[in-house]
Amino acid sequence: MRRADVALLRGELEKARTSLDDAHAAFGKYDPMAQHAIPLARIGLGIAAAQGRIDEARAELARAVEPGFPPGTQRYGWPLLAAAAAMEADVRGLPSAQPGRAAALDLIRTAAKRLPTGVPWCEAFALVVAAELERAEDRDTAARWEAATQALRPAQRPYDLALACHRWAAALLAEGGDRETVATLLRQAHAESERLGARPLSEQLELLARRARLSLTAPDPVGSDDPTEPAEALGLTSREQDVLRLVAAGHSNRQIAEELYISPKTASVHVSNILAKLGVSGRGEAAALAHRLNLFSGQPARS
């Protein structure tokens, strides 16, 4: 279970899945106790979300929440709800994620209302869950993420703190907040994610820094204040950006070909190149990444 958790945070999804399967096999035919079952569900949810299998991720949450959280298991329940809320925020706007979305958000809210805190770090996670739910509805604020980040600082959970710093920095940028504060948050979070080997988070921080024209090492902003197109920062050509927009909208290769007036074979080649550049294994994972990083911000495809 620990190997699966570490592999997930490092973006090693196949290793995470294998280790998770090993953990389930080790427990045998009997359901593990809640202190094991809830983390296993969180890891399964995280793997499915990273691979774009939204329905499977939601099913993991539903199975874990359905029996309720026994007394004393809030230390496991809050991270599960935080992971589920983060996934819903990451896939907002993804067409394939819309069916069942409202029910999933309601399930998270209901579970959060029933889950006690009791200790400061659980209270911090309650703030994270509330902030992620607001992000899922495109109404998160820098103030909300600042409160969650400050509450996490004494909790000695470096990955969760780095992730909250990333969210706070993104919210500040969206609000036109202080760029030096943004730069400091990004540098701190990036240094920690690199130390932990958390590649997906490191890449998200690097992309946000490039979009904001901020250095992760220099003390001052570099370049102009005009943001770089996020898809260009990933090395995608203009045509590949158009194709990825359609992949993220759930289009097949044939539909992409018809939309862009190219052959299905050419569309297939573009998709393969995109998957290689994004470092993902399939269309669902590419679509999830595009929406998680908000690559296109609703821009139409170019003709």
Tens-binned pLDDT, residue by residue, of the chain (303 aa): 999 999 999 999 999 999 999 999 988 766 678 888 999 999 999 999 999 999 999 999 999 999 889 888 999 999 999 999 999 999 988 888 899 999 999 999 999 999 998 888 899 999 999 999 999 999 989 999 999 999 998 888 999 999 999 999 999 999 998 899 999 999 999 999 999 999 999 999 999 999 889 999 855 433 334 445 566 667 788 888 889 888 888 889 989 988 888 888 888 888 988 888 777 778 888 888 787 776 765 444 444
| DSSP conformational letter for 69 | -
How many angstroms separate the CA atoms of 203 and 209, rounded?
A: 10
Q: Please state the φ and ψ torsions of residue 58, each to the nearest 5 degrees.
A: -65, -35
Q: Do the beta carbons of residue 139 and residue 161 sit within 8 Å?
A: no
| Virtual torsion, Cα 138, 139, 143, 144, nearest 10 deg | -80
Residue 85 carries which side chain, given as an amino acid letter? A
How many angstroms separate the CA atoms of 188 and 177, rounded?
A: 18
* Residues of the chain by 3-state class (helix, strand, coil), percent to 5: 70, 0, 30
Both tokens assigned to 59: 């099913």
